[in-house]
Structure 1
Amino acid sequence: MPLTTRDERLARIALTRILEPGDDHTGRWLRDHGAPELLQRLTHDDAPLPGAGPKRLAGLRNRATTARPEADLRTAHATGARFIIPTDPEWPGQLRDLGDAQPIGLWVRGQPDLRIWALRSVALVGARACTEYGAHMAARLATGLAEHGWVVVSGGAYGIDGAAHRATLAAGGATTAILACGVDTPYPRGHTALLNRIAEQGLLLSELPPGDHPTAYRFIQRNRVIAALTRGTVVIEAAHRSGALTTARAAQRLGRHTMGVPGPATSSQSAGVHQLLRGEAGLVTDAAEVIELIGEMGQLAPQPQGPVIPRDLLTPHTDRVLAALPARDPATVHTIARDAATTPDDTIASLYELHSLGFVERHGDNWKLTRQTPRTDFSPNDNT
């Protein structure tokens, strides 16, 4: 009897109970044998599997006895979740860049289409124990990205993750949390309300079946999915041993854009980010700079500049005359003209223009700066 899509889906659901995420060995088994046959080998057959010693195989077969794919599917449906596999239209094609470490399938909780959202998404990650500065920058970037129609992806954790998710939701934007546990098992517990809100307005994703709990290994493997799913990863505060750096390194291996937000040079919480910036990561400080790197050609960030001051509006000739004026003792027109390298007639015309703008004042036939005129450069006649 030929296998159906349902057979494939149920087999992959069972395998999420048996195999750990991101394992290249088990990924090769899945590629070589297909999900139904691999499940059969792990549950009924005594056939060996390449790369699995007797102890490991016994451990996997012991896990296989707990697999109840139909029950997992019912549990997921009760929480509004679904299970998608690589042959589904909703599957994001960029996950194939992970090769044999591609997820077996994904549990998805939320209404939006994952494939569509992933096409225009960016990851914001960083320290759990972040500073106020880090939380502010995460919120600033998330808000800007949301306002420009980008999906903000993070891990649902305390610190930078939570700040990014909350700011995106507050801006009415789209956000996705990729978890290292079941989508029906809020972790951390303190983020239960936040994660439920994300499920209502955005998406929760996980490779792990309902009810599964996180481990250190699963957090690390989760990070590769964040990196693969998005157009780029921004790290906002990360110490040298921060887990957020594993997301950035995965993004670099996959050829995705990697960016970092600089912090104080003396901050240990930014030391890992600064290390990234010394390498191939791009330095970003706002959403426009992120979009310039990951967006379409021509989406350039505006050139940074200071505020426009009245002096900026002067012609170069008039500005030279202004620079030639002394701050204290009044000077003659001929002295000002000489120092400005111009003629007395042109100098008089510029002086009357400057007088109308409040830059200079007249003392008989002589001229000087008003007290309110800011000195922004060196004048040879400035005796102060």
Structure 2
Amino acid sequence: MSQILVVNYGYNNGHSENANAICLYNIIVNDPKNHYIIVTDIGGHKIKQDCKNAEIISLSSGLNHAESRDVFKKDVMGFCEKIILEKSISNLLIVSFPIFCAKIGYKLKKKFSHLNFLFYQLDSYSVNASLRLKNVLFPIRYFWDYIIFRYADKILLTHEIYGKYQRNFLFKSFFHKMISIGIPIMNITKFNYRDNNRDCIRVVYIGSLNLQFRDPNPYLRLLYNHIKDIKNFELIFYGHNNDVIDNLILSQYGKKMVLKSFVKPNDLSEVIRNADFLLNICNESLDILPSKILEYIGYRKPIINFTPNNKNIGVKYLADFPLKFNFYQNKNNEGFKDFVLNNRNNLAPYEIVEKNYHSLTTKFIVDNISKIYK
């Protein structure tokens, strides 16, 4: 059994709400043979422990959010040093964002050279083109990526970010450390849940909306012409920033569209089980993957994929999924109504999904991470 020290901001087991903490939870819960010591910011009175192979240490119990961040950044380095010495830690795992956690990782590695420092970057700090356009301090981002990569023993990346770094000559000296490993979020379910007692056809979107990266309005204007005559059609948005949906569109859809608050992680499965179709909205950037699409595939329910064009990474990931409809921004999307009417209560065959997506499952990814530990 290996012992792994983890520094993560926002970790709260299966109750975590930020993407990096959720992915960390998926790693831990699928790796029972190793022991994880997690140093986090969330107040101890709020943490609900549900991983037997994890020890969670809070540095800001009882403090509010603003205070906890300051205390965490101030105290975490000394606290981690103490744990490394007392428990003879050999492995350090940092799941980034935020970047200050990665900075702590490189400082610990610099002080304790024996550490096996794994830097898991789920969201690029320096090669994200959409961020670069707005950030005049982007050279600083390159600097910190370079420093952290220099000290990391292995750099674990999503497949898309791996490709970006491999095309960037500034990081050529670190190519041998980089591993294209994916996002630990897909779990292919075997359940065959169908709701034959509900009259309406329910389409569900879960996640945040953003006018710059995931603007739903152009798609919704087109969609209405396809669903206006479908009796009891219901489109539900669970998430942040629902106010970006145009008021004219809300008025047009009327009772066919419902806006709800962000669904808590523990309630996610129930919401998806009660949906007939799952809606994904691709990012405008061709190679930024919404991780939600991986979760959707795992549930095997029919997926409606809003995409600007057929070159988008979301279209690529859905290519081998049997029950999907790519709904394009600038096409008439012929056949969509039939797809909806014919596929309610259908599920993609488990055997096909498992065969086509096994290498993207959480278990496959975690097994490969586990092999890197000392």
Q: Which has the higher contact order (CA 8 A, sep 6+)?
A: 2
TM-score range, shorter chain: 0.3 to 0.5
The structure in which a higher percent of residues are strand is 2
TM-score normalised to the size of structure 2? 0.32
